[in-house]
Structure 1
Amino acid sequence: MRVPSMLLMPFVALFGLVSARSATGDRVLVVLESAAIKDDYSQFWDSLQQRGFELTFKEPKSKDAELVKFGEAQYDHLIMFAPTAKNFSPSISPKAILDSQFKGLNTLYILSPQLSEVQREHLREYDLEFIPSDLVLIDSFSHPSGESASTVLLPPTECAISNGAILSDTTLTGGPIAYPSGTVHSAGLNPYLIDVLHAPKKSYIGQDKILTADETEVVNAVGGKKSKDAVQTGKKASLISALQTRDNARAGFVGSGEVFSNKYWGKTVETVNGKKVETGNAAFVTDFTRWIFQETGVVKVVSTTHFRKGETEPREMYTKKDDITFSLTLAQHVTSENGTSSWGPFHADDIQMDFTMLDPHIRTAMIEDKSSNPADATTYKAKFIAPDRHGVFKFVVEYWRPGWSYIRTSSTASVVPLRHDEYPRFITGAWPYYIAAISTSVTFLAFVAIWLSLGEGDRDRKGKKKAE
């Protein structure tokens, strides 16, 4: 028995609403360096699958691991867990990954201190430079009791970025994040990089071994006295970074793969002070991957319009000194705890609009219009007077804030001078000329009237004298 397709449509729509939590898709390619380590991160994989993602595991040299096939993207997200790999299949090579990122591929790089030179060169494309392979982050004052000092416990209040688009309040106020045997990198001048997690102040970079009180051994471990490289510590030592392009493709760089392991996933550890605390790795990884896979921090433009005062429809041409209203509607991607995703209102108080030709002639703040806000979006409006200059202008809105989607919208309209029949009957600034012209005319008419009246009287008197 065939079921009518119309009856299946509501169920298909409901299934799509429940399963799709990312704004860009749910297909994830996981490139694992070794299948043997897959079970050590089972809780991480399970958390992704519970969020509706479809995971496909491949090895670096797998020929069937294709990001693009016949010009179509085969995956929406990529997890590159092959820090020491030196060879890749052409379809997932560093160049292929960069090409896919230009088309919107979101990528999570899970790294380690033993980075291959191929990976180092690839990561330099993002303006990231990593420390040598034999060095790790060490903190003798903040690590689990009984473990090496290279298993650093990072308090989120001190080391994590305070950005609601990337990390939730639960993560920022939760337990320390275990960062075992992790590498450190320094970020260049790339304006699209975001420092998500940095090293604590008392940490340093050195070899993963127990040091004695010998000063020479300590100095050699941290680079030697003659080293010309700057010592990275505190905020200068980046551990986890993120990147978002102007095309809103996202990438994350995690310097320790053990952050995702089952060993520290929601486990309780004892600090060197004897205090037992629950690690915040599970909450941090969940928030970070939600941002990378575009479940959070995603904003889109629903609509834009502009119109003159007293009207509701947009115009192709406006006149100088017109009262113009520009309206922008934005929506934020929202994912609920039960697995559904939808679009909701986006509230911000720092959105600006430029009315520009070659340079911005007018830059004004956009105010939230609470009277006309739909349930699933937010409308912002800006009111201004058209400049006293004719030409082709653009309504431009650029919103670029760390963690949020990059928004840029532009629409064009012309500003023209008044036509000959559109000028006002009387111009206020010309009243002195009006008065001068009127007074001159009145004076001339009065003079003519007086002259004529005086001339007729003299002629009559002369005529009477001649008659006599």
Structure 2
Amino acid sequence: MEPQGDIFDLTLEGSDQNVPKPIPSIIRVNSTLECLERFDKVFHGSDQRQFIRDIIYQVMLPPVTTKRLKKMQSSREAATNNVAFTQGILDLFNRLREWEGNHFSLKLKVWSPSDDRALHDTIQINHGGPPIWEFRNDWKFLMIDETTLPLGVLDLSSTTPTGKWISTGDSSNPATDEDPEWYDSDASRASFNSDHSDHSDFMQHGDWLTADGELPATWFRDTPDPSTFNPLFLSLVHMVPKLPNLKKFVFYLGPLAAAMPRFSVTFSAPGVGGFNAIGPWDEKNLQRARWSVAEYGDIGEDWRMDDELIAALQGAHADGVEIFMSFPTQKFEIFGQSSKEGSAVLLGAVCQVWAKSSVGDRVLVVLEDASEKQLYSQFWQDLESRDFQLSFESPKSDQLSLFKHGELAYDHLILTPPKSKGYGPALTPKLLLDYTNAGGNVLLGLSSAASTPSAISSLLLELDIALPADRTSVVVDHFHYDTSSAPDRHDVLLLPRPPPLRPDVINFFGGDGVLALPNTVGQSLGNTSPLLAPIVRAPTTAYTYNPKDERDSVEVEDIFATGSQLSLISALQARNNARFVVLGSLEMLQDKWFEASVTAPGGKVTKTANREFAQQLTEWVFKEVGVLKVVGVQHQLVEETSRAQAGNTTELGFVNPQIYRIKSDVTFSIALSLYSHTHYVPFNPPTGDEIQLEFSMLSPFHRLPLVPSSSDLNSTTFTTTFTTPDQHGIFAFKVDYNRPFLTNVEEKRQVTVRHFAHDEWPRSFVITGAWPWVTGLWSVIGGFVVLIVVWLYCDPQPIDRRRAELAK
């Protein structure tokens, strides 16, 4: 219902010329340009705004032809409506953001000229029953068009990011998936998007349900799937505190949403009621923020709400929150106050676990000898303090599997050197490659104290990483070693923290201090793979040595590699951004080398920085750092207020159009974020590095640097402007940013570049080079006109014939 009272109707032409005094508290406005200009004129100052209490805003959608009106709404029509709807909302909110301090209610309406009843009365229908325009829009709905939004405003998706269902269940139960007999009807039916017939659509009853998504039936999906439901639930919980003016929020999950919910989540702000079913509890806590989570009996019996979700509710509001949970299959649970100081839970304590990795927190540690677990206790504690969930398995375990139901069972994998000849059938080189190809991250630890299995050597060769043929070879250095622990063998290397790989590469492993690397296995990296990068190189005086070789000297030909040819810790980032690190010295992660006292050959005693480096190394391999994310991509014509817009040219201001014209000025923007430990931050390339845009067909026509143009809390926007080439065809905007230790950015947007239309060529009178020819043309025309005038209006003088004869 519209607000009651006098309404100032700005949709009427000339209403801005006759502004009533005083202005009514209710105004009506629509999204047309003329109406919004009247709105701006009347409410350009705060004096008039203070009287407004209600705004009725009507978004105008494009009309459709009479022919289309007799068809179901097409996908193209729905997309056009979404753009108009989004632009209408933006146009209003861009104006209202200047109304700071004003409080009013907003009623939103949507209307199209094709909704006019008078128009419908003039259309004839060709079938019985109600006319199709009464329900032609029932199978489409308005959405915010993400491409129309300014960059970084909103990240939307009509499905889960992976396209999976939010719910799951037992699909083998036939009682839950019964389709009506008429589902497979062979009766002729019109196409939803048909444009080729003047007959209005008519469909079998089953087809309506198919279009509505009710067929094929999916009633067996009665249980929230944690892999998709939990991220959705958490995003809703984290969203609410960021909307301080939000009064109430309800989320339904079920086959028919609010009409037949299986699960609901409701938020009420302090002072806002609405929990009728739990009135006493609602009244008691009316002045606090409240969450209610209710199940209606149709969810699977084994489902329980994760502790992670409950703890997220508890920590959602810094000023405290009340939580009420009702599950028919469980007893009622009421969680009490939570505040900055702590949380008092009436029926039990809940512990929240937040994964800091951008991909997950499940870590599998393959450790054959369980007694060695205590040697790395501080390392395990550091991982658990960063909220990783560690699972220890022996390679001989029958339960060991990297995959479960075709999906990764663990997000990260730590492999320690086996005592036997290999890792067993569950960790073959092929399975490890499959694990990496599926996106899993691997930290492979080696040690010269344990011979490297041939299977591992074969696996690393697949990655273009070579190990010494002698499985017990160790890297020694007679100038950089610990004199206290390896005075004779010189196999405990003392090295500084690694510098940047290149000046234009971010160094995630740098810092002060010395690293101690005992029993190190050296690696040689292939020169042809752009996916490999050394993290720690050997000093120029280091070389590989087989301690079982009893000779007093080593032949140069027998040495596997020397100096900087040796990589002691190597990194590979696959094309799918999975990370694989080869740690040549697993012992450097032992407790005794964390902050141990070591003595350099010169006698200087220092503390090792192994613990800090181990954290940096695992942060990178487990994707806590160095993860780039594309927040948004935009391309559009450069706005030129002085340029007239032709009817068939690309619309100015339209974001991400599919077609451009040759010699048009185009701006391209991409927003990038960098994941840093717990959240995304703006990405800024290192000094000397730049992000480039290619505008290419078969080869690049433009290769341009993208420069930072703006930045917000989570992303940096990089922009460039250029002119499309004088060449028509299919082009692509392409950003291909690949740098060591950063995930790859590969964005490609395909567009068409067309020639000038016949009415877009410049007229001859605006081309200065054509002026002489135009002048000559008009001179000829003018001379001809003068000749005609002379010929018509100048009579010849009469001749005296007698005088002419005498002259003869």
TM-score interval (norm. to shorter): 0.7 to 0.9
**CA shift for structure 1 position 161:** 7.7
2:116 matches 1:116: no
Q: Residues 18-417 of structure 1: matches in 2 within 5 Å?
A: 19-83=354-418, 85-113=420-448, 114-131=451-468, 132-148=470-486, 149-156=490-497, 165-168=506-509, 172-188=510-526, 189-208=528-547, 217-219=552-554, 224=555, 227=557, 232-310=561-639, 311-314=652-655, 315-335=657-677, 341-348=678-685, 350-370=690-710, 373-417=711-755
2:314 matches 1:11: yes
Instruction: Give the percent of matched residue pairs that are identical in Structure 1 and Structure 2.
Output: 33
**TM-score normalised to structure 1 length:** 0.87
**CA shift for structure 1 position 165:** 4.0
Are residues 204 and 82 of structure 1, via their aligned partners in 2, closer, same or farther at CA, if it must alter by over 3 Å? closer
Tell me which protein shows more strand as a share of its residues: 1
Which AA in structure 1 matches 2:568? Answer: L
8 Å CA contact retained: 2:533, 2:572: yes
8 Å CA contact retained: 2:731, 2:751: yes
Question: Structure 2: how far apart are the matches of 1:358 and 1:343?
Answer: 35
8 Å CA contact retained: 1:84, 1:116: no
8 Å CA contact retained: 2:498, 2:535: no
**CA shift for structure 1 position 31:** 0.7
Are residues 465 and 85 of structure 1, via their aligned partners in 2, closer, same or farther at CA, if it must alter by over 3 Å? farther
Are residues 413 and 17 of structure 1, via their aligned partners in 2, closer, same or farther at CA, if it must alter by over 3 Å? farther
Partner-residue secondary structure (3-state), 2:553: helix
Are residues 247 and 432 of structure 1, via their aligned partners in 2, closer, same or farther at CA, if it must alter by over 3 Å? farther
Question: Structure 2: how far apart are the matches of 1:248 and 1:431?
Answer: 61
Question: Structure 2: how far apart are the matches of 1:424 and 1:301?
Answer: 40
Which AA in structure 2 matches 1:366? Answer: L
Are residues 164 and 357 of structure 1, via their aligned partners in 2, closer, same or farther at CA, if it must alter by over 3 Å? closer
Which AA in structure 1 matches 2:580? Answer: A
Partner-residue secondary structure (3-state), 1:217: coil
Which AA in structure 2 matches 1:34? Answer: D
Question: Structure 1: how far apart are the matches of 2:609 and 2:548?
Answer: 26
Question: Structure 2: how far apart are the matches of 1:291 and 1:50?
Answer: 16
Number of the residue aligned with 2:782: 442
**CA shift for structure 1 position 119:** 1.2
Question: Structure 2: how far apart are the matches of 1:285 and 1:378?
Answer: 30
Query: Deviations 1:224-282 (Å, cap 9, x if unpaired)?
Result: 25x3x565222101111001012111010011111111111111222232211011211
Which AA in structure 1 matches 2:665? Answer: D
Which AA in structure 2 matches 1:445? Answer: V
With a CA cutoff of 8 Å and minimum separation of 6, indicate the structure with the bigger relative contact order.
1
Which AA in structure 1 matches 2:780? Answer: T
8 Å CA contact retained: 1:84, 1:119: no
**CA shift for structure 1 position 78:** 0.5
Which AA in structure 1 matches 2:444? Answer: Y
Which AA in structure 1 matches 2:452? Answer: L
Query: Deviations 1:341-366 (Å, cap 9, x if unpaired)?
Result: 11111112501111111111111111
**CA shift for structure 1 position 16:** 11
8 Å CA contact retained: 2:672, 2:717: yes
**CA shift for structure 1 position 174:** 1.7
Question: Structure 2: how far apart are the matches of 1:247 and 1:463?
Answer: 109
Are residues 81 and 128 of structure 1, via their aligned partners in 2, closer, same or farther at CA, if it must alter by over 3 Å? same
**Bigger CA drift: 128-137 or 429-438?**
429-438
Give ranges in structure 1 of 5+ residues lacking alignment. Answer: 336-340
**Bigger CA drift: 192-201 or 344-353?**
344-353
Query: Deviations 1:172-224 (Å, cap 9, x if unpaired)?
Result: 3422111111111111122100111111122222234899xxxx7123xxxx2
Are residues 5 and 292 of structure 1, via their aligned partners in 2, closer, same or farther at CA, if it must alter by over 3 Å? same
**CA shift for structure 1 position 421:** 2.0
**Bigger CA drift: 14-23 or 193-202?**
14-23
Which AA in structure 2 matches 1:256? Answer: S
Which AA in structure 2 matches 1:317? Answer: I
Are residues 127 and 438 of structure 1, via their aligned partners in 2, closer, same or farther at CA, if it must alter by over 3 Å? same
8 Å CA contact retained: 1:306, 1:324: yes
**CA shift for structure 1 position 445:** 3.3
Question: Structure 1: how far apart are the matches of 2:553 and 2:446?
Answer: 26
Query: Deviations 1:397-425 (Å, cap 9, x if unpaired)?
Result: 11111111100111122111122222223
Are residues 85 and 108 of structure 1, via their aligned partners in 2, closer, same or farther at CA, if it must alter by over 3 Å? farther
**Bigger CA drift: 11-20 or 422-431?**
11-20
Are residues 433 and 150 of structure 1, via their aligned partners in 2, closer, same or farther at CA, if it must alter by over 3 Å? same
Which AA in structure 2 matches 1:369? Answer: S
Are residues 277 and 430 of structure 1, via their aligned partners in 2, closer, same or farther at CA, if it must alter by over 3 Å? same
8 Å CA contact retained: 1:163, 1:403: no
Give ranges in structure 2 of 5+ residues lacking alignment. Answer: 1-277, 282-290, 295-308, 318-349, 640-651
Question: Structure 1: how far apart are the matches of 2:784 and 2:698?
Answer: 53
Number of the residue aligned with 1:338: none
Which AA in structure 2 matches 1:259? Answer: M
TM-align CA RMSD: 3.0
